[in-house]
Amino acid sequence: MTKILVTGANGQLGKSFKLVAKQFINFKFFFVDLPEVDLRVKEQLYPFFEANFIDFVINCAAFTEVDQAEDEVELTLETNLNIVSNLCDLSQKYQFKIVQLSSDYVFDGNASKPYETNEPVNPIGVYGKSKAAAEQVILNAQIDAWIVRTSWLFSPFGKNFVKTIFELLHNKNEINVVADQSGAPTYALNLAQFILLAISQKPNFEGIEIYHFTNTGATTWFEFACAIKNELNTDCVINPIRTEDSPSKAKRPKYSVLSCEKTINEFNLNPNSWELALKDCLINLKN
């Protein structure tokens, strides 16, 4: 039986893995997070790997507060680099494979067509720089690993755009949403399902590969918010605004759609549209 450790188990993606794990009966799962284990401290990890033979580590643990990262530069880099560096060292010692979650924020957003997996990274903020640096740690390591980039993650768990807009639409008469940033929303449950399906298809892969996974289709934050409103049928007015009129510390990529063609072809996928995924998420939120 394939044994999989999911780190960052209390975050929205970790919780999504917990939810979909029951669909994969041939896998045995372990879930860890703070405060039980601090992945930044390698010494805390040895006892676990000595006691448990692990085939795969899916690393969902990261500092992901994009605006806060601009103020907490050292913490962001320490967290996102140390965790990956420790896992790479442990991978060499204990021979497990790594699935590292990464982000559209490794790109600068100046493109006009979806980013391919082999395009050079050029992050414009602290968070993106930390994720790009973590990717480089893996690319430099002599291990077997997948880097899976995703974007605009949402789910019924944790803090994300869909949950925020869901609350605002029920409690405000009027809200402003940025209309000049484009990306591809990704349902965390679909992302978790893809990764586990990919592992079941290629459990013995070797070397390092980069994949992109999002739901199909692209949109703007404003259009995304309007789609949520249409599903909820509220009276709240949504106003489109420009990025420069929306106060935030971190620069966001203007266009960060990821090309998933390589992923779809290699794993014979038929991903949900973001609209269908949103409907499922909102059903879960309403319940």
Which residues form the catalytic set?
Answer: 127
* Calpha distance 245→278 (Å, rounded): 27
**What's the residue count for the chain?**
287
Q: What is the largest CA-CA distance in the chain?
A: 57
* Calpha distance 241→249 (Å, rounded): 17
* Calpha distance 266→199 (Å, rounded): 12
3-state helix, strand, coil in the chain (%, to 5): 45, 20, 35
- Strands 145-150, 208-212: pairing is parallel
User: What's the CA angle centered on 167, arms 163 and 171, to 5 degrees?
Assistant: 170
- Record the tokens describing residue 275, joined without a space: 């609209």
Whether the CB-CB separation of 38 and 8 falls below 8 Å is answered with no
Whether the CB-CB separation of 63 and 80 falls below 8 Å is answered with yes
